[in-house]
Amino acid sequence: MRDASDTNYNLKIHLYGVQGSGSIFMSRAERRDYHDLMDLRLLEQIFKDLSKYARPDGQINCTLEQILGGELSPQTLRAYRKRFDIEEARVYGGWTTCVRIETGDGHDIVIDLGSGFRNCARDLQNEWGDRGQRHLSILGTHSHYDHTEGFDQAAVCFDPRNTIRIYGNRQYLQAIDQNLGIFTHEVDANLLGVQTPLYYEIMPAAFESYEIRDLSRYPPPEPGNDRLAQSYHHLSDPIRIGATTITAVEVFHPAPCLTYRIEHGGKVFVFCTDHELRHGGDPDDPKQKASMEAEERLRQLAYGADVMYRDGQFFRAEYDGMQGIGESRGVSRVDWGHSCIEDVLEMAEACQVQTTYIGHHDPNRDWAERNWITEGLKRKSEQTGLGFKLAEAESIIML
């Protein structure tokens, strides 16, 4: 993978939100631990620097000005601090699901509209500037609130120069439209203003809806009879945006959910959130069969990918209810719609995915435990020759 400053790329992937189920940020205790760690790293560097001035008996024979490079002031302190390259501690948590992809031929694609979309939309507006053609393609996975909550506060929705094309299954389009009416230009009077004060009349961007469905099983209605979906896209047909090819498959989740394979210039990124490899007790349970079939579709889609983002919200013991997460008690998480980290690792290794980012983190999992998981994933990477990492918000992946 290339450095984020590289301008020659096929896919530039921005992780704006990787948190599952709800936005979280470091607690006061976690912030204190973080600052203690950073202070310790800085003090180690400072005293190493001071040792250069020490005599054999340990006494330091120099002036403060010699050490700082000038008289004591905020300016000289800042200059002195810049001498030290302190490794930044890992930061986890943040916004719910939103990933932006810049393609090598200049297209902007966003996957999901969780709370991270507000920051994503701000960056898009700043980068587009006075550009005449301002188009954004959005790929929706499913209708749950943590994947849609950032939409109505996003700056791109309030600029009449923007055209926003949204692909998703019917539930996803309904989740975006029902409180805002951006496609139907209609909001139920009982819903208007209940969840948000905003609605289509004060959101002047142009919105286009493309429903992804299996047209062989569910033919579309007669033209003009569907106000929600303006166009239909067959599930098995690739979506083409410029030179980028996107393939969607259905995975296993309580709400219908799509996973996407994005290909450009021979590079492949697979985005899979909210999929459960189910561990039920009855192999003949229809849900168990549906989960296994979805897992097989996912494996075929992901085989040989350069990068995969995959939901790994639980460990198996947590999924089975044998132990809790953080301060939460142990409870069975069968049919919650999320996968076990162990299953993600096994699947990525079997499919020879070069680098796997594990996201949709459980909001009850604290900073210290996430650090512990990261260290385990580093050892797994060394053992297998493949990359395994916890996804971190505000990171960029270059392909």
Cα–Cα separations (whole angstroms), residue 228 to 168, 182, 198: 12, 9, 18
Residue 131: is it exposed, middle or buried by C-beta count within 10 angstroms (0-12/13-18/19+)? exposed
Confidence of residue 4 (pLDDT cuts 50, 70, 90): low
Say how far residue 265 (Cα) sits from the centre of its chain: 22
> Quick one: which of 341, 321, 337 has its CA closest to 329?
321
Q: Above 90 in pLDDT, residue 380?
A: yes
How far apart CA 124 and CA 350 sit, in angstroms, is: 37
> For the chain, how big is the Rg over CA atoms in Å?
24
Instruction: Let me know: does 362 contact 19? Beta carbons within 8 Å.
Output: no
Is residue 82 a part of any domain in this protein? no
Look up residue 184 and give its two tokens.
Answer: 């139907």
Is residue 378 a part of any domain in this protein? yes
Number of independent structural domains in the chain: 1
Confidence of residue 2 (pLDDT cuts 50, 70, 90): low
Q: What is the pTM of this model?
A: 0.89
Range with top average pLDDT, 60-64, 133-137, 218-222: 133-137
> Quick one: which of 156, 159, 158 has its CA closest to 138?
156
Is residue 142 a part of any domain in this protein? yes
Q: Which amino acid is at 328?
A: S
Range of the domain at 186: 12-23+90-398
Q: Is 227 left (phi over 0), alpha (psi -120 to 50) or beta?
A: alpha
Q: Give me the CATH number covering residue 209.
A: 3.60.15.10
Phi then psi dihedrals of residue 385, to 5 deg:
80, 5
Is residue 242 a part of any domain in this protein? yes
- CA terminus-to-terminus distance, the chain: 5
Is residue 149 a part of any domain in this protein? yes
Is residue 53 a part of any domain in this protein? no
Instruction: Let me know: does 37 contact 89? Beta carbons within 8 Å.
Output: yes
Contacts of 388 (CB under 8 A, 6+ apart): 345, 348, 355, 356, 358, 377, 378, 380, 381
Q: What is the pLDDT of residues 263-319, one digit of tens each?
A: 999 999 999 999 999 998 898 999 999 999 999 999 999 999 999 999 999 999 999
Q: Which amino acid is at 360?
A: H
Q: Above 70 in pLDDT, residue 37?
A: yes
Q: Which residue has the tokens 């680098």?
A: 355
Is residue 211 a part of any domain in this protein? yes
Q: What is the pLDDT of residues 60-115, one digit of tens each?
A: 888 888 888 888 898 998 888 888 888 877 777 789 999 999 999 999 999 999 99
Is residue 343 a part of any domain in this protein? yes
Look up residue 204 and give its two tokens.
Answer: 């002047």
Q: Above 70 in pLDDT, residue 5?
A: no
Look up residue 343 and give its two tokens.
Answer: 């299953």
Instruction: Let me know: does 107 contact 244? Beta carbons within 8 Å.
Output: yes
Q: What is the pLDDT of residues 331-374, one digit of tens each?
A: 999 999 999 999 999 999 999 999 999 999 998 988 888 889 99
